[in-house]
Amino acid sequence: MVSMLAEESLLEVCAIETHSLEDYEAEPPRWCKGCGDHGVLAALQRVLRKNNVDPENVVSVSGIGCSSRLPHYLKTYGFHGIHGRALPIATGVRLSRPELPVIVIMGDGDCFSIGGNHWLHAIRYNINAVVLVLDNEVYALTKMQASPTTPDGWKTNTTPRGTYLHPLNPLSAVMGMTNISFVAQTATWLPAHLDETIDKAWDHHGLSFVRILQRCPVFMPKAFGEGGLNFPVVFLEHADGIPIHPLLRKRGAVQAHDHRDINEAQRVAVTVDPAPMGLVYQNPDVPAYEEIRWQRQDRPDHQTFLRRLEAEMDRYTVT
Partner 1 sequence: MPGPRRIRLPEHTLEIVSDAGEGAQKAAVAFAQLCAKAGNGLWTVEIIPSEIRPPPHTTGSASGNRIRLAERSRVTNAGNRANVVLAFNEMALLSRLEANSLADDVLVLIDDQWATHEMEQYRRSYREVLDRFRSGAAKIIEVPLEKETLRHVEDAQRGKNMFAVGLLCALYSKDPNVLDEVIRGIFKDKTQQVVEVAVKLAAAGHQYGMAHLEECFEIPSSQSEVPKVAMNGNTALALGAISAGFELCSMYPITPATSASHSLSEIFEDFGGFVHQAEDEIAAIGVALGASYAGKTALTITSGPGMALKTEFQGLAVMTETPLVIVDVQRGGPSTGLPTKIEQSDLLHALYGAPGDAPKVVIAPSTVEECYYILSVARKIAEELRMLVIVLSDANLATGQQLFDRPDVSKTPPRPPLDLSPVPLGTLPYDWDPTTGLSQRLIPGQPGGMGVTTSLNHDRDGKACYDSERNERGHAMRSRKLATLQQSLKPPTVHGASEGDLLLVGWGSTRGAVEEAVDMARAEGLAVSSVHIQFLSPLPPGLKNIFRRFRRVTTVELNYSDDWSDPLITEENRRYGQLAWLLRAATLIDVDCFAKVPGRPYMPVEILDEIKRVLDVQPALAAPGPARAANEGVN
Partner 2 sequence: MKEQILQPAADVWRRHCAALGETLAETVDGLENLLRLDEYHRHGHEPDRLQSALGPLAAASLDVDSLSQVLGKSTRSRAMPPERLVRVRELIPKLVELKEAWPDVPLDRALIELDTNHGEIHERAEAHFNQLAQVFRAVRIAQLEIRAKYDTQVHDAGFADFDWRQLGPGELRACPPFLVIARLDGCDGARLRSVMALLETGMPIKVLALRSSVCEAASGAGGTAVPSRMTIETLPLAMRGVYLLQTHSAASGFQAQLSQALTVPRPGVISVFCPRHGEAENAFQTRAERAVRARAVPMCVYDPDRDDRFVMCFDLSSNPSVDVLWTTDKLTGRDSQGEPVEVDEPFTLAHFAASEPELATELADPPERTDTLVPLVDFLRLSRHQQVGKLPFISLAAEEGTIVRKVVSRKLAAQCAERLHLWQTLREISGIDNPHVNTTRTTLQRELGAERDAQIESLRQNMEKDATSRERAAVASAVRKLVARLTGIEPQN
Nearest distance in Å: CB 111, partner 1: 14
Pick out residues in 34-73 that bind partner 2 (CB under 8 A): none
Is 99 near partner 2 (CB under 8 A)? no
Q: Is residue 307 exposed (0-12), middle (13-18) or buried (19+ Cβ within 10 Å)? A: exposed
Check: CB of residue 18 under 8 Å from CB of residue 55: no
Q: How far apart are CA 116 and CA 109, in angstroms?
A: 9
Select from partner 1, partner 2, none the partner in contact with residue 26, using the beta carbon and a kind-dependent cut-off of 5 to 8 Å: partner 1
Interaction pattern, residues 60-89, with partner 1; x per rule: CB under 8 A: -x--x------xx--xxxxxxxx--x-xxx
Which of 33, 161, 250, 302 touches partner 1 by CB under 8 A?
302
Is 298 near partner 2 (CB under 8 A)? no
Nearest distance in Å: CB 302, partner 1: 4
| Residue type (1 letter), 72 | H
Is 272 near partner 2 (CB under 8 A)? no
Rounded to the nearest 10°, the torsion over CA 132, 133, 134, 137 is: -170
Q: At CA 81, angle to CA 79 and CA 85, rounded to 5?
A: 120
Which of 100, 177, 254, 262 touches partner 1 by CB under 8 A?
100
Nearest distance in Å: CB 300, partner 2: 12
CA distances from 284 to 59, 128, 200, 205, 238 (A): 22, 11, 12, 6, 16
| Residue type (1 letter), 254 | V
Nearest distance in Å: CB 263, partner 1: 28
Q: Which residues of this protein are in contact with partner 2, per CB under 8 A?
A: 2-6, 8-14, 17
